[in-house]
Amino acid sequence: MTSVARKKITQHEAEKRFSLITGSVSYDDLHDVDIVVEAVFEDMNIKKKIFAKLDEVCKQGAILASNTSRLSIDEIGSVTKRPEDVIGCHFFSPANVMRLLENVRGEKTSPRTMRAAMDFGKKLKKITILVGNCDGFVANRIMAFYTQEAIAMALEGASIEFVDKCAVKFGFAMGPFSMSDLVGIDLGGRQRETNGTADPSKNIGDLLYKENRYGQKNGKGFYDYILPEGAPKGARPRPAPSEFVSKSIQVIAANLGIKNRGKEITEQEVYDRLILPVANEGMRVVEEGITEKWSDVDMSVIFGYAFPKTRGGPLFYARQMGFEKVVERLQYFQQHSSTGQREYWKPSTLIVECVKQGEQDPDRAKKNMVKAKM
Ligand SMILES: NC(=O)c1ccc[n+]([C@@H]2O[C@H](COP(=O)([O-])OP(=O)(O)OC[C@H]3O[C@@H](n4cnc5c(N)ncnc54)[C@H](O)[C@@H]3O)[C@@H](O)[C@H]2O)c1
């Protein structure tokens, strides 16, 4: 449904906005622009070719931005003669709804470029945060564990509908599997296929990609999207459980030697496993100085992933739960989940420091930690 149909803006306003947009398929038309936001396939080679070309055609001082979700801004900027003008401007999907803009500073990005990108975000009425260059930046980096644990629970026998329902009960507008279908399974699938890490016998995302199940965009992903019979014109297809997906999950679980314990997985376990690894990684982000302050981590997922505002963000949630209890739960799942051996269950240095110091504020705990080392 369009914004006009939803009565968010008038027809006149929509026409006015469209009239401000012009299309072109020629690089020559970019010679005088102030900012370029590249948004082509998530493929480093293609991005490098494009940035080399942008470097040739754009005027001096133009901001060369990439909407990449996880590729290195330093590597993209390295093909230009002006890495100081290169920055990440990472929008979140769907970009007209999600208010977050992560501006990713590379090692050589100049303060002028950072300031311009922050002003650009403000002009677009985005919640704009400045973040460091690391794999996945902030929101995608920490929320990766939310998705990984959702898949792990499915492999352990929880149905994808149950996990999604729990996430909604926690306060998310949609569960992790519905979200993957919305964002598009092909994004990660294509990237893993390109870099040779895809394994459809062990990874459900890779299998769905191989089977052309890209999500809502082509009517099948973790769910089948079916238009009910007799549905009115313009009605949206509705998600329905897919037998193919549940069978594939069982096959992959067997390939990985994961035992079925679906009946034991409670609502509380789903909450803990979806949220606590995210909070733990959020602490690592703060520890590494990827964000200026811990509240930026919470802002990034509230406005980039619609993390329930009422929960205050993963770090606020962990703080409310009590860092000591969080460490205890992380250690419990380190021993009891099929993903327990993974690094993300290991309590981060900063959360352990918060417990040791009896400190509620991770920024202060970090400062104390640095002081103590001096
Ligand atoms: N889809 C998302 O949810 C999302 C969210 C945030 C960031 N991003 C990032 O945005 C970028 C694009 O993702 P997407 O999902 O929109 O992909 P997409 O596949 O929907 O669109 C990519 C577009 O790039 C075009 N393209 C490919 N090679 C090109 C070239 N050499 N020159 C010009 N155009 C070229 C394709 O024709 C296509 O229209 C990626 O870097 C992705 O990480 C995507």
Q: What digits encode the pLDDT tens for the residues 264-323? A: 999 999 999 999 999 999 999 999 999 999 999 999 999 999 999 999 999 999 999 999
What residue numbers bound the domain in which 50 lies?
Answer: 15-137
Residue 283 lies in a domain: yes
**Residue 194 scores a pLDDT above 90:** no
- Whole-number pLDDT of residue 247: 97
Centre of ligand 1 from the C-alpha of residue 341, in Å: 34
Q: How far is the CA of 87 from the centre of ligand 1 (A)?
A: 17
Q: What is the pLDDT of residue 1?
A: 66
Which residue, of 198, 232, 259, is where some domain finishes?
259
pLDDT at residue number 205: 96
Residue 150 belongs to a domain: no
In whole angstroms, give the CA distance from residue 310 to residue 80. 44
Is the same domain home to 246 and 334? no
Whether residue 9 lies inside any domain: the answer is no
Q: Out of 113-122, 234-243, 346-355, which region has the weakest mean confidence (pLDDT)?
A: 234-243
Final residue in a domain of this structure, among 232, 259, 286: 259
pLDDT higher than threshold 90 for residue 183: no
DSSP letter, residue 227? P
Q: How do residues 34-73 score in pLDDT, each as one tens digit?
A: 999 999 988 899 999 999 999 999 999 999 999 999 999 9
* Three-class SS state of 262: helix
Residue 142 falls inside a structural domain: no
* Pocket lining: 184 vs ligand 1, CB cutoff 6 Å: yes
- The per-residue pLDDT for 188 is 86
- Best residue for ligand 1 mutational test, from 26, 41, 180 (most atoms within 8 Å of Cβ): 41
Ligand 1: which of 25, 40, 45 to mutate, most ligand atoms within 8 Å of CB? 40
CA dihedral in degrees (155, 160, 166, 167; nearest 10)?
Answer: 100
Contacting residues for 209 by C-beta, under 8 A, at least 6 apart:
185, 186, 188, 189, 190, 192, 193, 198, 200
Same domain flag for 129 and 20 = yes
| Residue at 328: amino acid letter | E
| Mean of all residue pLDDT scores within the chain | 95
Over 70: is that where the pLDDT of 128 sits? Answer: yes
Ranking 28-32, 40-44, 348-352 by mean pLDDT, the lowest is 40-44
247-277 pLDDT, tens digit per residue, is 999 999 999 999 999 999 999 999 999 999 9
Query: Cα of 30 to ligand 1 centre, how many Å?
Result: 18
Same domain, 132 and 173: no
If one counts the domains in the chain, the total is 3
Single residue among 137, 172, 197 that ends a domain in this structure:
137
- C-alpha span between 349 and 279 (Å, rounded): 13
Q: Which of 31-40, 140-149, 336-345 bottoms out in mean pLDDT, i.e. has the lowest?
A: 336-345
**pLDDT tens per residue, range 15-26:** 999 999 999 999
For residues 172 and 229, state if they share a domain. yes
Active site residue 90: yes
Residue 52 Cβ contacting ligand 1 at under 6 Å: no
